[in-house]
Amino acid sequence: MRELLVRYIGRFAPSPTGPLHAGSLVAALASWLDARAHGGQWRVRIEDVDTPRCVPGADQIILQQLAACGLVPDAPVMWQSQRSVAYQAALDTLIAKGWAYPCGCSRKEIEDAQELMGHARERHTAAVYPGTCRDGLNGKVARAWRLNVQRVIADLKLATPLTWQDRLLGPQQQDVAQEVGDFVLRRADGLWAYQLTVVVDDAAQGITHIVRGADLTDNTARQIVLQHALGLPTPSYMHTPLVLGENGEKLSKQNGAEALDLSDPLLALKIAAQALSLNEPSKGASIDQALTKWTKVWLSVPR
């Protein structure tokens, strides 16, 4: 009962790299249901800063797909491509505190430095930055901006490893300095990095609860460090199970996951609901009736 009194603003934040697929609908539905079950609001933010990966028109298709599934935001949609001023202000704040520095390393140089340090690079992970430019560019040309993770942690006396609680996965921890290193805030190609934009915008939209796919779990500690560095609140986090394709790999637009077939949005919703351990709605139920039923049971379904 107490949970229902909590002020709640949730969100779904798709990157418009293609239409929604079965996996992204699960994250959308989970965030919508969690907001409704808490009597809260639900926002949508189009994360269109990584322009080389964005597909023109995909944002509108995603919004139409959500609407066809009865998932309509309670406030105007935010587009990250219109938010550069806020991102620059956040970067300026970090620079003024001495917590961000320019980096002149190419990817190749980072990998070579890593090899010298004897670090093997694991599949699917960005190389841990060895800190080459932390104390100055040494004549190199500034390309990207990085967060000085060790300095933020030391200055703000943050715990190492950083611990946080996931509502579904339980206690989590990560030594951000060791396991991730000084991550990028603004990329060498001038584009804003996901970690910075997501933190700035979650705060700007007043997001209190984040519900998103489990593939993003590993980013959370970095985002919490940035929230502390920018003096922003840390929302509650919940990462939902991933829908795996037939090959056992995470479904994603990159590995050719099919766009949702919206000739039957209720069927698409039922499949997403199943991934969230929710039962079929009764025969003949409308989309609204199904959503209402799932909202009622959402907080009590064992996962």
Nearer Cβ to ligand GLU, position 30 or 290? 30
Q: Which of 29, 176, 216, 251 binds ligand GLU (CB under 6 A)?
A: 216
Piece of the chain touching ligand GLU by CB under 6 A; list 9-17, 32-40, 66-74, 99-107: 9-17
- Grouping H, G, I as helix, E, B as strand and the rest as coil, residue 211 is strand
Q: Which stretch binds ligand GLU (CB under 6 A): 13-21, 136-144, 145-153, 154-162?
A: 13-21
- Listed in sequence order, the residues at least 6 apart from 111 whose beta carbon sits closer than 8 Å to its beta carbon are 121, 127
Q: Any idea which residue has 């991550």 for tokens?
A: 183
How many residues are there in the chain? 303
Contacting residues for 145 by C-beta, under 8 A, at least 6 apart: 91, 95, 100, 101, 102, 103, 184, 185, 186
Q: Taking CB under 6 A as the rule, does residue 20 contact ligand GLU?
A: no
User: Could you say which of 58, 63, 198, 272 contacts ligand GLU (CB under 6 A)?
Assistant: 198
Should residue 212 be labelled a site residue for ligand GLU when binding is judged by CB under 6 A? Answer: yes
SS3 label, residue 223:
helix
Rounded CA-CA distance 53/32 in Å is 26
For residue 235, cis peptide bond before it (omega within 30 degrees of 0): no
Alpha carbon distance 7, 39 (integer Å)? 8
235 touches ligand GLU by CB under 6 A: no
From the list 7-15, 61-69, 161-169, 233-241, the region that binds ligand GLU by CB under 6 A is 7-15
Would you say 13 or 272 has its CB closer to ligand GLU? Answer: 13
Pattern 38-67, ligand GLU, x by CB under 6 A: ---------x--------------------
Rounded to the nearest whole angstrom, what is the least distance from the CB of residue 49 to ligand GLU in the complex? 9
Q: 248-287: which residues touch ligand GLU (CB under 6 A)?
A: none
Judged by CB under 6 A, how many residues of this single chain contact ligand GLU? 7
The CA–CA distances, whole Å, from 174 to 110, 164, 213 equal 22, 9, 18
Task: Say which residues have a Cβ less than 8 Å from residue 109's Cβ, sequence separation at least 6.
Answer: 132
Q: Is 163 helix (H, G, I), strand (E, B) or coil?
A: strand
Taking the least distance from each CB to ligand GLU, the nearer of 26 and 216 is 216
Q: Kindly give the pairing relationship between strand 78-79 and strand 41-46.
A: parallel
Q: How far is the CB of 206 from ligand GLU (least distance, A)?
A: 15
Which of 8-16, 93-101, 144-152, 164-172 is the region at the interface with ligand GLU (rule: CB under 6 A)? 8-16
Of these, 15, 174, 208, 240, which contacts ligand GLU (CB under 6 A)? Answer: 15
What do you get for the CA distance between the two ends of the chain, in Å?
A: 19
Give 14 or 131: the residue with its C-beta nearer to ligand GLU.
14
Query: C-beta of 17: minimal distance to ligand GLU in Å?
Result: 8
Binding site for ligand GLU (CB under 6 A): 13-15, 47, 198, 212, 216
